[in-house]
Amino acid sequence: MSHLKDLDPDMYNGLVQLLDCEDASSAMLNFETTRTTMFGETITTELKTNGSNIDVTNDNREEYVELYLQHTLIDLVRPSYEAFKRGFYKVCECEVLEWFNANEVELLICGSPTLDFDSLKEGARYDGYEASTDREGNQVSSSQIIIDFWDVVQNELSSEQQRKLLAFATGSARAPINGLKELHMTITKAVESEQLPTSHTCFNQLILPEYPNKNVLREKILVAITHATGFGLL
């Protein structure tokens, strides 16, 4: 039921009401379901043998819900899932996959959905901007533009804007399995101070001009990450 709630909240609510109501027969349902395809074709499917002639009552409503979930969440998607499964295992067939559950496999393939920009800052490197190494071996910069950059990124950008910035600089809006620090993003000083930030996503390299103040920096970053599609990525 929780999966159906994500897929079709209205139908989820309807089934919950069906299970909780005093008289399920008042819903005037039988053991069949109707759907409309993307081409406008109406398809009616019996959920069990002779289902069109079996009314849903208090005695069989739980069976109806189970069969509906089976049909909607498993039977209808089985052909597409089997095709995806064949393609997936052609590329990723490996005994190691059997060691993980579904959530862990997603983490391995897609990375972590949680963005820790403190970690990204710890792993950052600097090219053209003044930098030194702290006790933990991380690079730190005393350049005002770099200080302002991290202040804007960590404290002034929304979560969605942070994701756009990460995708702009690295090509992905997800964190690798070991966290953003592992990206070792390089912030390189640009020659021209009037241009927008650009990037080399293959190298996790952000090319950042030395803007005159934080307000200009914020404005340039927002323009770059908002209008990055089609240009600005080198």
Place of tokens 């498993």: 74
Active site residue 92: no
How far the first Cα of the chain sits from its last, in Å, is 46
Both tokens of 111, joined, read 């990375």
Buried b / exposed e over 45-60, threshold 16 CB at 10 Å, is ebbeeebeebebeeee
Single out the catalytic residue among 21, 92, 110, 202.
202
SS3 label, residue 95: helix
d(C-alpha 217, C-alpha 152), whole Å: 8
Phi (first) and psi of residue 47, to 5 degrees = -80, -15
Catalytic residues: 202
